[in-house]
Chain A
Amino acid sequence: MAITPITERYWWKQPMDREEVIWILLSFVWCLFMFFMMPYWHVFGKQNLAHAAVKTSAESYMKKAEDGVAKWKVREETEQKIPVIAPPADADVYLVARLWSWWPILELEAGKTYKVHLMSMDWLHGFSLQPENINIQVHPGYDHAVTMTPTHKGTFSIICNEYCGVNHHTMISRIYVK
C-alpha cells in the first residue's frame, strides 16, 4: 500500500501496466506539442509581447508623455481636462499610469500601427483593454513599448487590473479608435 514501506528488493524492476505506458507517452507528446506552440506563435501568430523594456526614471518618461500631448493634442475631456491625443501612425505614444488615472487619452485609427509605451509613475498597475481583453502589467521604472494595431472602430476602455490601493477601481480611461 501507499502508506506502508515497500519491502521488495527490486521494486523498480516491476513492469508498468500497459495503460500507464500508453498514458505517459500520450501525455508526453501532448506536452511537447504545447511547448512548441509558444515559439510557433512567435513566428506565425500575431499576438506577442516584445522582450525589451528600457529602465528609465519617472521624470524622463513624463517629459516624453508631455511632449506627445504638446504635439498631438486634439481636445480635452471631462472636468479634469484630460488631453486627448491623436498621434500619427507608427508614432511612439507614451501612456502614463499613476495613482489613480491614465494620462493622456489616445485617439487611434483602425488598421494603423502604433508603438504604445506603458510605464507607471508609482506602484504597479495593470493595463486592461476592454472589451478586447488584452492585459499587460505596468511597472514603475520600466518603459515597456508594445506595438499595437487596432482592428476595428469604437470606444475602448482601459481599466486598471492590478490592485493599486483604495481607489484602484476608479482608475479607468479610454482609447478611441476612428
Chain B
Amino acid sequence: MATNRNFRTCPSTGLLFHEPAEKLMRWNAVVGVVCLLIGGLLAIGVVLTRWQAVHWLTPDRFYQVLTAHGINMLVFWIIFFEMAVLYFASSTLLRTRLATPRMAWAGFWLMVLGAVMNNYAVLRGDSSVMFTAYAPMGAHPIFYLGLILFAVGALIGCFVFLGTLVVAKSEQTYRGSIPLVTFGALTACIIAIFTIASGAIILIPTFLWSVGLVPQIDSLMYKTIFWAFGHSSQQINVAAHVSVWYAIAAIVFGAKPMSEKVSRTAFFLYILFLQLASAHHLLADPGLTSHWKIFNTSYAMYLAVLASMVHGLTVPGAIEVAQRKKGFTNGLFEWLRKAPWGNPVFSGMFISLIGFGFLGGISGVIMGVEQINLIIHNTIYVPGHFHATVVIGTTLAFMSLTYFLIPVLFRKELAFPGIAKWQPYVFGLGMSGVALFLMGAGTLGVPRRHWDISFAGNPFAYEYPGAAWLMMALGSIAGLAAILGGGMYLLVTVYSVFLGKSIQTPGFQHVTARSNVAPRVAPSAPGAGQEAASIESSGHSAGFSAPGTFVMAMVFITAFALYYFVNWKYLSTVWPLK
C-alpha cells in the first residue's frame, strides 16, 4: 500500500504537517469542541438548578443532565482534544509521517460511535448514573458499551502515537532526543494505556452484568478499579496540559526549559506514581487498610506532587529566563508585567498554570490526606477542586492552544480578536469563582450531586447555614460567567474554522506525489533556521536565573502550608472517630 508522504510547511511557524495527520488533528479537535459545546449547554442546567433560588430542573432531569455534563466534559471533550495533541506532538514536532493513518481513522470513528452511544443511553433517561456509574446502580448496557468503544478507539490513537515515534526514529527525521513536549505527550500516552486497561477491566464485566451474563458486581471492587480508570484519566490530562504549557512557553517566548533533566525527570515521576491516586476516592471507604490508603493516596510519599511542584517552577521559570534575555530585567517581575497579556495563547496558559497550582493543586493534596478526607469526601468541595484542575488547568490550556492552532493548523484568521483577547479572563476568572465558592460550600458540608439542599417537605429537613446558601448562589453566578467565557471560545473557534477568512500564502501548493518519495532525513549538521534554535535547546549555567518565579514559588508553598494546617485544625474539632 502506498504511503502518503505529503507534507505542508506552515509559512508562519515553519512547522511541518503531514497531510493525513493534519486532517486527523482537525477532526479530533472539531469533534472535541462539539462535545465541549454539548457539555457547556448542559452546564447551564446544572448551574441554574443548584442555585436554590432558581432551582430550574426537576430532579430526574437534573441528575440526567449532570450525568451527561460530566461525561461529555471529563471524557469526550478532553480525550478527543488529547488525540489531536498526541498527533501534533509526534508527527508535527518530529517532522515525520503519522504511522498507520487508516488505523487512526478507525480509532477516531470508534470514539465518535462510543460517544454517540453513551450520550444516547443517557438521553433515554434510564442511565442517569453519573460519570462514576457506581455498581450496583445499573445503567442501560449501551451506556457501558459506548464507553468501552470510546476507550478502544482512544487506545488505538495511543498506539498510533507510539508507532509514529518509531517511524520518526527509524526514518531519522530528527536528531538527538525527542522534544520535551513530545516526552510529556509520551508520558500522557503511557498513563492513558494504563487508564484504558483499567477501564476495560471494570467496564467489560459491568457491561456483561448489565446484560445479565455476570451475576453480581461487588461495589468496593468496582469503585477501586473504576478509579484506576476515572482518576487516571484525569492524570492523562495533567501530563497533557503540562506539555501544552511547555509548548506555549516555547511558541510565544521561544522559551527553553531551564533544565531538560529536571523537567523530564518530573514527567518520569508522573509515569511511576501518578496512577496510585485511585485511592483518593476510597479514603472514606470500608475494607481497605490505612497502610494501603496512606501509601497510595500520597503517590508513595507525594512523589507525583513533587513532580507537579517542579513543573510549576520550571514552566514560568523558562518564560522568565526568555523574557530576561529580551531585556525585561528590571526588578523581580518586569518579565511578567510586560508579558503579552493581550495574547490569549499566553494569558490562557498562564491563568491555567496559576489556577491549577493554587486552586486545584493545593486543594487536591489536602483532600487527599487520609484523615482530612473525612471532612471533605463527597461534599461539593470535590467538584470545586476538579473544576480548578480539569477546567482551569486542562480545558483552559487546551483553549489557549487552539488560538495558536487556528492560523497554523486550520489556516484561518482568528475571528473576533477582541473577544478572543478577553475570553481567557472571563472563563478563567469565572471558573476560579466556581472552584472557590464550591470549596467554601463544601467546607460547610453541602453535598455534591444533590438536587435540593433545602430538603423541602421533609420532616427531618436540615438547615444549612446562610453562608452555605450564599456560596452556592455565588458559585452559580460565577458558573454563568464561566459558561459565557466558554461561549466566547466556541464563537471564536467555530466561526474562525468554518466561516473565517482563509490565510492565503502566495506560491503555496500541495505536492501530490503519494508514494515512492524518500523519507525526509534531518540534516546531519545543524544548519540555519529551525535547527539553530535547537542547538541550545536546554539549560544553561548553575546561576540563579529566575528570581521572580522563585518568589512566586515561595508564596505558593506558604499558602499551601497555611491551608494544610487550617484543615488539620478543622478536622481536630469534629467528633472523635476510630
Contact = CB atoms under 8 A, between A and B. Distances in A.
Interface stretch (A49-57, A59-67, A68-76, A87-95): A49-57
Nearest to A45: B371
**Band of interface residues on A:** 35 or more
| A contacts with B: majority SS | mixed
Interface stretch (B19-27, B245-253, B350-358, B492-500): B245-253
Contacts of B59: 166-167, 169
Nearest to B219: A139
A124 B174 CA distance: 53
A164 B370 CA distance: 24
Interface string A1-37: 1111111110110111111101110111011101101
Given A49-B577, A78-B459, A14 B260 contact: yes
B-side binding surface: helix, strand, loop or mixed? loop
Interface centre among A15, A22, A38, A163 (most CB of B within 10 A): A163
A126 interface: yes
Contacts of A42: 290
B298 A34 contact: yes
B497 to A, nearest CB: 23
A140 B360 CA distance: 32
Interface in B214-273: 218-220, 223, 246-247, 249-251, 254-263
Interface residues of B, number: 120
A168 B539 contact: no
B211 interface: no
B176 A32 contact: no
Contact of B181 (A3, A8, A144, A165): A3
B302 A18 contact: no
Interface string A119-163: 000111010111111111101111110111111000001011111
Contacts of A78: 459-460
A143 B286 CA distance: 8
29 contacts: A3-B250, A4-B537, A7-B537, A11-B537, A15-B539, A17-B258, A20-B259, A23-B310, A35-B298, A35-B301, A38-B369, A41-B371, A46-B572, A47-B371, A47-B574, A49-B374, A78-B459, A124-B134, A128-B445, A135-B284, A139-B220, A148-B575, A151-B575, A159-B455, A160-B447, A162-B134, A169-B451, A172-B458, A172-B460
Interface of A: 1-9, 11-12, 14-20, 22-24, 26-28, 30-32, 34-35, 37-39, 41-42, 45-53, 77-78, 118, 122-124, 126, 128-137, 139-144, 146-151, 157, 159-170, 172-174
